[in-house]
Chains A and B, each alone.
Chain A
Amino acid sequence: GENVEQHPSTLSVQEGDSAVIKCTYSDSASNYFPWYKQELGKRPQLIIDIRSNVGEKKDQRIAVTLNKTAKHFSLHITETQPEDSAVYFCAAMRSSSGDKLTFGTGTRLAVRP
């Protein structure tokens, strides 16, 4: 089955700096990669996703890059703000079979004001 590794497990940045979270996956047939954000005491919510037919996707201060050859994808947050503080989860899915999301272990991001 799919295995997703996520690094780092914790990340602390100064407000205004950039944050990068990296994930690797094992199943070369995986083709859908979402990122979820979970604020303290709240439910996970999708913030951005990417499919394997593109290499990069941006949404305001958030971007995700995908390297299919190396089987890794990354979340980039620019101009971080205190409200970006949360746990971020990456996930991977082979949408053609199984339809199951495999999640990484999460990254706790702290943005220092």
Chain B
Amino acid sequence: ETGVTQTPRHLVMGMTNKKSLKCEQHLGHNAMYWYKQSAKKPLELMFVYSLEERVENNSVPSRFSPECPNSSHLFLHLHTLQPEDSALYLCASSQDLGPYEQYFGPGTRLTVT
């Protein structure tokens, strides 16, 4: 699969577990994003990275911890989540920050039990 890939595609975790979501982009883009998509809500931007530096942290609880080791990879580390954190987590990338098309990954469907 080319473009933006995400693993795992589905994840079920208990509230005491620690897990990580992985995103990889093969487009040579400089900006990467984490979004949360819940039913009947707009896409919520969580984090933005530009050239591996975090430029946006949208008041996200500390139980979500992003990591961007290089411009092609983005992780979202999860620990002590709550049931209301169950959602589709989408990764996206764009050429740079600004008015550029964002290319989304297929998402990770997360269920917190």
Q: Which A residues contact B (CB, under 8 angstroms)? A: 4, 9, 31-32, 34, 42-46, 49, 51, 89, 91, 93, 95, 98-106
- Select which of A89, A99, A102, A103 is within 8 A of B98 by beta carbon: A99
For residue B99, which residues in chain A have a CB less than 8 angstroms away from its CB? 31-32, 49, 51, 93, 95
| CB atoms of B56 and A101 under 8 A apart | no
| CB atoms of B56 and A100 under 8 A apart | yes
Q: Which B residues contact A (CB, under 8 angstroms)? A: 4, 40-43, 45, 48, 55-56, 58, 90, 97-99, 101-102, 104-107
For the complex formed, measure the closest distance between the CB of A100 and the CB atoms of chain B, giving whole angstroms: 6
| CB atoms of A105 and B101 under 8 A apart | no
Majority SS at the chain B contact face: loop
Cα-based distance from A4 to B94 in the complex (angstroms)? 21
Cα-based distance from A81 to B41 in the complex (angstroms)? 26
Contacts A43-B105, A98-B56, A101-B102 known; 18 new A-B pairs at CB < 8 A = A4-B42, A31-B99, A43-B107, A44-B43, A44-B90, A44-B104, A45-B104, A46-B101, A46-B102, A49-B101, A93-B98, A99-B55, A99-B97, A99-B98, A100-B45, A100-B56, A105-B40, A106-B42
For the complex formed, measure the closest distance between the CB of A25 and the CB atoms of chain B, giving whole angstroms: 12
For the A-B complex, the count of residue pairs with Cβ-Cβ distances under 8 Å equals: 49
| Contact A103:B107 (CB < 8 A) given known A43-B90, A95-B99 | no
For residue B105, which residues in chain A have a CB less than 8 angstroms away from its CB? 43
Cα-based distance from A32 to B97 in the complex (angstroms)? 13
- Select which of A32, A43, A49, A51 is within 8 A of B106 by beta carbon: A43
Residue on B with the closest CB to A31?
Answer: B99
